[in-house]
Amino acid sequence: MARLVVRILLAALFLLAGTVHLLNPNLFMPIMPSWVPAPLGAIVISGICELLGGVGLLVPSERIRRAAGWGLLLLLLAVFPANIHMAAAQIRVHGVPSANWISWVRIPLQPILMLMVSWSTEIWPRRKSLNKGVPS
């Protein structure tokens, strides 16, 4: 039951984030590191991935939930440099609280989100199946 609750909360987070990325991608342009090619495209793609991952977390199929979990883990890794860039360069974004410490707090939250995604989708740790002792 706890995994379900965490999955629902994560789905809401990713669906909200994906919606914001698609409705107002220019909001995220200031935090894009200069080395990212086609930053607007990267923002739109990340928004689409967040939406797909959020929906995938809600699908009853265990296989789809795990695939969504792996996709979200890769996405969280991919956007991590932008979070570091935002904090290190003290970038202020309209609509985001302006204290620099908030940007730094987001950095350790990223691995916590990754653990929550991994746990709630049973990527890690994997539960043992009761059928023939094989992993589920």
Cut 0.85: pTM above it? yes
pLDDT at residue 136 in the model: 47
Bridge partner list, 128: 135
pLDDT for position 94: 73
Domain ranges of the chain: 2-120
Q: Tens of pLDDT along 85-97?
A: 999 998 887 766 6
Residue range 41-83, pLDDT digits in tens: 999 999 999 999 999 999 999 999 999 999 999 999 999 999 9
Backbone angles phi, psi at 134, to 5 degrees: -95, 150
Rg, the chain, Cα only: 16
Q: Determine the pLDDT at residue 95.
A: 66
CA 45 to chain centre: 13
> In this predicted model, which residue has the larger pLDDT, 128 or 91?
91
